[in-house]
Amino acid sequence: MVLQQILILLLVFSPTLTVSTDIATPFCVGSQYEYSYSSEITLNQVDKFNFNAKAFLFAYGMSQCEETEGVLMRVDLFGVLNCTAVQVILTDAKLVSVEAKQHGHDIIEHQMNLTQWFSFYQRQDGLISKVRYPEEEERAVLQLKKAVTSSFSLRLHEYVRKKGTDKYGGWAYRVPDLDHSGTHSARYDVKEDSKMVTYSKIHNDFENDHTRRKDIHIMKETGHINSIQVLDKADITNSAQKYRSKEDPPPIKASGIAHINLITKTSFDPASITEPSGLILDSIIAQRVIKDPLSYSKASSKVYSKLSLTENCYPNIKDTDCVKTIREIVNIIELMRDEDIERLATRFLSCPLTSRLEYVFAIIDAFGMCSRASCHVALVTFLNTSCIEREMAISILPHLATFKLPSLFAIDILDQLAFHPTHFPIQLHNHTLSNMAVLALGSMSATLKESDPLLSNKIINKLHRMTLPHDHDRYRRENSVDSENKLSSKSTGLRRQSSLIDSLGNAANENSFNFLKSYIESEHAPSILRRSAIHSMRQYDTDEVRTN
């Protein structure tokens, strides 16, 4: 009975959390079992959504002879109303692969370590004896479940009757496998200011120490939930004895106030979804909330709207917001895991970019300002994609040149852009970009001088081979004095040679000193190259440079 109540709680109170199991089915080693869960959620008799999940659970390394701890599978999807099908495959005793589909298209793939969440004990006869999850995760798990439940209630207020400043919202649930059903409803007091609308749950006369308090804040300009504050002193152990009926389920245990940001529109129309807007970011936010709910409270859904880069998400942005936006995005990215940053970069590249260049530059600058190596890789990935625009590449290259931890991947891409630009899309076949890549390589060589001197010298040697010391006699034989000014202003070769000299200055390698000196001391070297050599020589802190 206790196990059944726990499973009911997990199934009922979190529409985005599905636990599939059957306590009456023997569980044997080496066998494969199929568990299915079907739930019909009716939203105030107006909007319906059917959620179906099928899970294949494989008994891995479990003994029938003794009570052994195993893993109880869970399906964790955020923004579940936007999904039409979910398939979960347990690959071993720890990892599960989750794939969600919307209108036949994959919208999210994720792997999670199940041992961090739920586990079960198996008796000798193969039956599951009890279910548990770690106490240290209990608060975060349940706070997240409560926040999602609150958002479900809130998004229904447009469908139901209104009375004064009160708005009603609720949803009905039914779990056929467990023969359980019930309703969840709430009444909210509505307050508005210039920026947001606040919904506070109104309690009846039975308010006491076990009462939940919810304040939900919605940005008026964007229509997105900004934050949900949940305070609940209810104790699931004590309260479970009081609520036995199917119509009146027990409250969820949580303590403290959790500030949780959700990208959830107050109105939902499944037919309007044409691409996975915000779902990947929803998953990122929710994963981080579980680990550190207070950190993500600082990031508003306004910032995530900008991150989503969709044409209709935030059409009235002002240019004056860009600096603030970059700072906020940097704070968010610094908290993300490497795989989430890669996923965000992939989503960034999949969006229509040309009409929202102010957002594009904000994202690029945010990635460039971050100290994470994965951000550096993401910027290089932007360069190596077919949808890259010339303006984007020009914005990316300075960030790559100044990054403190350059990667081999970045050096390889910049080397190709500098010396083999035909490997890139045709819009990047530009001498200016190639010369900028040359300058970036010199800066990277200087950065690597202490951490990886071999790689730094390898870059310098290639620049030396491309530059070569100045041979003023040969140059004067091939170019007259009268044509020098014309060559300096129009010659692509001279501009490339000037960039190579500037790059040697950026690298400030002692082996390059004589290269630069040969251009400065030559009376017949082109003026553009002599100027570049003089500027580059200033990077060398030597007595000879200071004297001259």
Q: Please tell me the predicted confidence (pLDDT) of residue 425.
A: 62
Tokens describing residue 276: 């996975």
Q: Is 232 or 46 the better-scoring residue by pLDDT?
A: 232
Tens of pLDDT, residues 501-539: 777 776 766 666 767 776 666 666 666 677 777 766 666
Tens of pLDDT, residues 443-472: 777 777 777 777 777 877 777 776 655 555
Q: Name the nearest CA neighbour of 251 among 288, 205, 206.
A: 206
> How far apart (Å, rounded) are the C-alpha atoms in residues 14 and 286?
13
Q: Please tell me the predicted confidence (pLDDT) of residue 500.
A: 72
Q: Is the pLDDT of residue 133 over 60?
A: no
> How far apart (Å, rounded) are the C-alpha atoms in residues 298 and 303?
10
Q: Please tell me the predicted confidence (pLDDT) of residue 484.
A: 53
Give how far Cα 344 sits from Cα of 112, 221, 235, 337, Å: 18, 24, 38, 11
Q: Is 220 or 145 the better-scoring residue by pLDDT?
A: 220
> How far apart (Å, rounded) are the C-alpha atoms in residues 70 and 544?
72
Range in 295-309, 331-345, 362-376 with the lowest mean pLDDT: 295-309
Sheet holding 119-122, edge to edge: 68-69, 119-122, 128-132
What amino acid is encoded at 330 in this protein? V
Tokens describing residue 61: 């390394």
Tokens describing residue 307: 């991150």
Tens of pLDDT, residues 240-272: 233 223 333 333 222 222 222 222 222 323 232
pLDDT (average), residues 114-136 = 41
> How far apart (Å, rounded) are the C-alpha atoms in residues 424 and 384?
7
- Asked if 78 contacts 72 with a C-beta cutoff of 8 angstroms, the reply is no
Q: Is 477 or 223 the better-scoring residue by pLDDT?
A: 477
Tokens describing residue 292: 């550190």
Q: Is the pLDDT of residue 379 over 70?
A: yes
pLDDT band at 540 (very low <50, low <70, confident <90, very high): low
Q: Residue 201: in which H helix or E strand, if any?
A: strand 196-202
Q: Name the nearest CA neighbour of 496 among 523, 475, 466, 516.
A: 466
Q: Is 49 or 144 the better-scoring residue by pLDDT?
A: 144
Q: Is the pLDDT of residue 78 over 60?
A: no
pLDDT > 70 fraction of the chain, expressed in percent and rounded: 14
Q: What is the average pLDDT score of the chain?
A: 50
- Asked if 72 contacts 119 with a C-beta cutoff of 8 angstroms, the reply is yes
Q: Is the pLDDT of residue 430 over 60?
A: yes
Tokens describing residue 163: 């009375």
Q: Is 331 or 534 the better-scoring residue by pLDDT?
A: 534
Q: Is the pLDDT of residue 134 over 50?
A: no
Q: Is the pLDDT of residue 192 over 60?
A: yes
pLDDT band at 401 (very low <50, low <70, confident <90, very high): low
Q: What is the pTM of this model?
A: 0.34
What amino acid is encoded at 128 in this protein? I
pLDDT (average), residues 392-401 = 69
Q: Please tell me the predicted confidence (pLDDT) of residue 462.
A: 77
Coil, strand or helix at 264:
coil
Tokens 């037919």 — which residue?
A: 271
What amino acid is encoded at 534 in this protein? I
pLDDT (average), residues 53-81 = 30
User: What spatial distance separates the first Cα and last Cα of the chain, rounded to whole Å?
Assistant: 90
Q: Is 181 or 283 the better-scoring residue by pLDDT?
A: 181
Coil, strand or helix at 124:
coil
> How far apart (Å, rounded) are the C-alpha atoms in residues 89 and 102?
18
Q: Name the nearest CA neighbour of 284 among 314, 256, 262.
A: 262
What are the structural domain ranges in the chain? Answer: 1-133, 135-267, 382-547
pLDDT > 90 fraction of the chain, expressed in percent and rounded: 0
Q: Please tell me the predicted confidence (pLDDT) of residue 415.
A: 75
> How far apart (Å, rounded) are the C-alpha atoms in residues 438 and 418?
5
Tens of pLDDT, residues 47-57: 333 333 222 23
